[in-house]
Amino acid sequence: KTKVKGSFNFDSFGYYLLNGEYYNSLDDNINELACLISLCKKELPCFTVIQINGQHFSAAGADILQELAFSLASAHDYFYRLTEKGIKAEDIAPRIGFTLSSGSAYFMEIAKFRAVKPLWAKIIEQYGLKNELATVKIHAVNNSWNKTILSPFVNMLRTTTEAMAAAIGGCNSMTISPFDFVYSESSDFSNR
């Protein structure tokens, strides 16, 4: 069991942001999440269950600070609601991950990725947890709103810069889309 690692992308707040409604209701979603965390604690202890999809905030027009603030606020809201349901804080903290966008503001993006871990540590410290449980997994996704159709090879430079910022910032994993994904079916060249 401890050799199996992976994650779910459970984020009812992100779903609400994109669709204007919850899967069922917020209370049902939190109950399902509590059951999923309890099950994963027993069966898949190395799985991340909650994925805070901060890239949705960026895609909706949030700046770097807003994306970080809204993502941390969402994570804290899950934390609060789950502890109210009787789930122990030490069972929640290692099961939260963040997916954040990586944009073209190179140094600010590096700072954003570096800021997540200490800020999250401050939040969970309020629940009596120590820093070792603040080790959060961060996944980076390159922005889509800043890509162009007219100069597609500039997109290649942008995605390279975004990937470098996320890597230097300390993300654990990243998704980099092909440079032409916003306007066409990707070719072998753009996938490479």
**What SS3 class is residue 161?**
helix
Q: What pLDDT does residue 132 have?
A: 64
Dihedral angle sign, alpha carbons of residues 6, 11, 17, 18: positive
Q: Which two tokens stand for residue 190?
A: 């753009």
> What's the pLDDT score for residue 134?
62
Position 85 scores a pLDDT of 92
Residue 86: phi, psi to the nearest 5? 95, 5
Here the tokens at position 9 are 């992308």
Determine the pLDDT at residue 46.
Answer: 86
pLDDT at 79 (0 to 100): 92
pLDDT for 139 equals 94
Distances (CA, A) of 90 to 64, 106, 161, 187: 29, 34, 36, 45
The pLDDT score that the predictor gives to residue 31 is 93
Along the chain (192 residues), what's the average pLDDT of each consecutive run of 10 residues?
A: 81 91 91 92 89 92 94 95 92 93 92 94 88 79 79 81 93 85 72 69
From residue 15, give the alpha-carbon distance in Å to each of 9, 52, 76.
10, 10, 17
Q: How far apart are CA 179 and CA 177, in angstroms?
A: 6
Q: What is the pLDDT of residue 151?
A: 79
**What does the block give as tokens for 142?**
């390159």
